[in-house]
Chain A
Amino acid sequence: MASVVLSEAEKLYIVHGVQEDLRVDGRGCEDYRCAEVETDVVSNTSGSARVKLGHTDILVGVKAEMGTPKLEKPDEGYLEFFVDCSANATPEFEGRGGEELGTEIANTLYRVFSSESSVDLKSICINPREHCWVLYVDVLLLECGGNLFDAISIAVKAALFNTRIPKVRVLEDEEGSKEIELSDDPYDCIRLNVDDVPCIVTLSKIGYRHVVDATLQEEACSLASLLISVTSKGAITSMKKMGKGSLDPESIFEMMETGKRVGKSLHIALQKILDEEESLGTSRQKVGFLG
């Protein structure tokens, strides 16, 4: 992960600030930075989203392709995650430097979405055992400004909300071979229900308290953090501890409670933005990358 070097005095200042619930930029321990979310930014994908959380910039594209269902789940489609840490984010990611972080993030996303109820995978199955939609979710890290996992999960949820999968009909021939017919209308598509898609909330332990949405400087002062994926109803679907420090069970319990609280309000805010974008429809002015 990209990191900044700080002097001991700076770290001490940050730690004391967190104790008093006043972080360097004036936020409280449970406040997020100003986030910008925009969907449908990449034209040749089925769905895309871009999230800017402070200095962290993430781009997610979802492509729907035809595939065969997995053997253990023959009547469901599935999601494939790939995370690319581009060298744009920090020079450490040059060449193969970003691979380790990329695989870690991808594995975390698999875990988060491993729960049965997150995405309705049965709706993207066309023919059990034969055809199904595979959603390839590609995450691109454009800039690393702290709190990667939260921003990525927000972007993935927004991109899935924006995904439009074309409707197909399966025609059976006399010989028994099946033909797939795509509907002619480009606007005739199925949308995914993202109500139960979880979002990741990272809680970093700094001193005796924990903060949500840590900046790079705060991450340098934190020895351990807890990643919790929370659904909009407040249910926790997965948990992961990161960092080389230790957490004692009581603080884990407190962090879980904070995570649930913060997660619920995050979902409400995100859904509001997505619904607003949706209501503007095609007349929405896209900011894109040059705005």
Chain B
Amino acid sequence: RGHGTYVEEEKLIASVAGAVERVNKLVCVKALKTRYNGEVGDIVVGRITEVQQKRWKVETNSRLDSVLLLSSMNLPGGELRRRSAEDELAMRDYLQEGDLISAEVQSVFSDGAVSLHTRSLKYGKLGQGVLVQVSPSLVKRQKTHFHDLPCGASVILGNNGFIWIYPTPEQKDEEGGGFTTNLEPVPLSDREVISRLRNCIVALVTQKLMLFDTSILYCYEASLPHQIKDILKPEVMEEIVLETRQRLLDLEG
């Protein structure tokens, strides 16, 4: 009899509702509405809440704030050296309160707090775009969480439920490492794609469909006949998601 169960009328009942996972004799229920539980290797999108000595506190929709150590952060230009006191004083120049970052989970502390790192050029500070917050259980585990969708925008599906939609960068910056943000206005065509993707993701989440690149893409294509702002109307939402579900079933079967 593990945590989160209770006995009623001689039956053992789980106190959360969700998907059942069985491993030999262990029966687990993965709750639908839950905070993010970090696992090593997950990609997360987080928001900086505090700047402390030698580390940043990052909000990732988990029970405790995640930690990003200064030593786990890439220096601009990709240098490899010991972090000095000057780096510590210049921390606020790299990341401030309110900034969004993409990072990978390095390790999990014993109390469940997650330690992040941005030790690759694909992680780092995020620029212009839209953040959508969903339940972590709706993001499907895949090989890669960075997708460049053919419709004209890119999306980062964070395992913690933070989805970041942004305009596809034109050339790949090798040196940037994510520190210089592009502050030029995003063109209207890209904005329409991003808004439509955002509404599609909200529609999929309301109807409790798993989020992965194919489902988002099918939902986008199903929503094209409608105006962007109409996607959030309940009737239109149901219709679009039904079509997406149908196409996904056809894909499998």
Contact = CB atoms under 8 A, between A and B. Distances in A.
Interface of A: 5-10, 12-13, 16-17, 20, 22-28, 31, 33-34
Rank and list the top 7 A-B pairs by shortest CB-CB distance, nearest first: A26-B228, A26-B195, A13-B128, A26-B229, A5-B98, A16-B185, A7-B99
B21 to A, nearest CB: 29
B220 to A, nearest CB: 13
B129 interface: yes
17 contacts: A5-B98, A6-B98, A8-B181, A9-B100, A9-B127, A10-B128, A13-B130, A22-B195, A23-B195, A25-B195, A25-B202, A25-B228, A25-B232, A26-B196, A28-B229, A31-B229, A33-B232
Nearest to B183: A12
Given A5-B47, A5-B98, A20 B188 contact: yes
Contact of A17 (B98, B191, B231, B232): B191
Contacts, number: 68
Contacts of A20: 188, 191
Interface size class of B (residues with CB under 8 A): 20 to 34
A257 to B, nearest CB: 22
A29 B48 CA distance: 30
Nearest to B47: A5
Contact of A9 (B128, B232, B233): B128
A147 B131 CA distance: 20
Interface string B231-243: 1111000000000
B127 A24 contact: no
Contacts of A5: 47, 49, 97-98
Given A26-B228, A26-B229, A26-B231, A7 B98 contact: yes
Contacts of A17: 191
B191 A9 contact: no
